[in-house]
Amino acid sequence: MAWNPQTNIIDVTKITDNLFDYLEANQVDALEWANPDSSLQPIKKFYRSAVGRIMSVFPCLMLIEKANATDNSSDVLEGRFRLQFEGVIQGGDSEQLVKDATVYAAALESMISEVPSDVLCAGAKQTLFAFSNSFETEYDAISRSPGKANIYFQVFRTEVTYALQTSAYIQQ
C-alpha cells in the first residue's frame, strides 16, 4: 500500500544543500563586499557536516548542527530551521586573523540574509516560504597550531534560524 498522507510536514531536506550551493556561488562577491580592501581567499572547502574538524583545508566552513521544529496547530504550518556553521581560518599573523574572521563572518551573514526563499526551498515536497529570522556569530579565542610555531587558527560560529511556512494540508 502506498503512503498517502493528507497533512503536510515542513520539508527541510533540500535547504542545507541549496544554502551551501548559494554560499559557494556567491562567496567571492560577498567577501569583496564585506571588505573591498581585502584580498581574502575564498572558502576552499565547504563541509556539510562537522567532518571538517578533522580535515586540514583552510579556510573552511562546515555545518556542525541543525534542528527543525514545527507548530502544526493551525491551517498554516509554521516552523523554524536552525543551522550552526563553523568557519576556520589559519595564518601566521594572529592579529590579522582576528580581523579577517570578522570579514568572513560578515560575508556569511550577508549571504544568509540575502538568499531568496525560492532558491533556499527549491526541490521541497511542497510550496515553502523561508526567510532568515535571526543570526548570531561568536568568535573563539585565537589558538596556536600544536607543534607549529607562528601558525594560528581563528574559529567563528554563525547560527541562523529560518522561519518557514506552508499549508498544513497537501494539495490533491
**Does any domain span residue 5?**
no
Give me the domain span that covers residue 33.
Answer: 15-167
Residue range 62-117, pLDDT digits in tens: 999 999 999 988 888 899 999 999 999 999 999 999 999 999 999 999 999 999 99
6 domain residue, yes or no: no
Q: Tell me the pLDDT tens digit for each residue of 123-166.
A: 988 888 999 889 999 999 999 888 777 899 999 999 999 999 98
Sign of CA dihedral 118, 122, 126, 128: negative
Asked whether residue 172 is domain-assigned, the answer is no
Domain count, the chain: 1
Supply the CATH number for residue 96's domain: 3.30.2000
Q: Residue 90 domain-assigned?
A: yes
Please report whether residue 66 resides in a domain. yes
- 148, part of any domain: yes
Query: pLDDT digit string (tens) for 24-47?
Result: 999 999 999 999 987 899 999 999
